[in-house]
């Protein structure tokens, strides 16, 4: 199984095909997902530190294109299916913003 490492937190195995945002949350790590995984809010954004997630879907590419300040290593964790080992940094946390994480994205 692929291993996901969240910088500053821990590493854990993930069933191939699991949405990255759910893998992170189910590992007990605080990550936001305000729009419920619909590529609208970008609060689930992560920085890819190591590894190569699959290519962006059209919906992810179009949404991130509206965020000019974000670098090419920033991805939407609700749009990534874990297929290989990844190391990421979680950038938006409910505990830091004081805003509820949002509706849980569908599997
Ligand atoms: S863009 Fe909103 S949860 Fe991913």
Return the residue matching tokens 């199984």.
1
Check which CATH number belongs to the domain holding 31 and give it: 3.10.20.30
- Residue 16 domain flag: yes
The pLDDT value recorded for residue 68 is: 85
**What is the atom index within ligand 1 of the atom nearest the CA of 77?**
4
Pocket residue to mutate for ligand 1, from 25, 37, 81, 107, most atoms within 8 A of Cβ? 37
20 pLDDT more than 90: yes
Do residues 19 and 39 make contact, with C-beta atoms less than 8 angstroms apart? no
- Residue 102 domain flag: no
Range of the domain at 38: 3-97
Do residues 78 and 39 make contact, with C-beta atoms less than 8 angstroms apart? yes
Q: How many domains does the chain contain in total?
A: 1
* Residues 21-35 pLDDT 10s: 999 999 999 999 999
- Residue 64 domain flag: yes
pTM of this prediction? 0.96
- Residue 59 domain flag: yes
* Residues 31-79 pLDDT 10s: 999 999 999 999 999 999 999 999 999 999 999 999 988 999 999 999 9
């Amino acid at each position: 199984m692929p291993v996901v490492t969240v910088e500053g937190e821990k590493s854990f195995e993930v069933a191939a095909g699991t949405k990255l945002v759910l893998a992170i949350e189910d590992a007990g790590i605080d990550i936001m997902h305000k729009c419920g995984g619909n590529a609208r809010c970008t609060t689930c954004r992560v920085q890819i530190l190591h590894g190569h997630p699959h290519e962006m879907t059209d919906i992810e590419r179009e949404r991130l294109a509206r965020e000019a300040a974000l670098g090419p290593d920033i991805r939407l964790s609700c749009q990534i299916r874990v297929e290989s080992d990844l190391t990421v940094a979680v950038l938006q946390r409910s505990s830091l913003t004081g805003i509820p994480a949002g509706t849980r994205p569908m599997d």
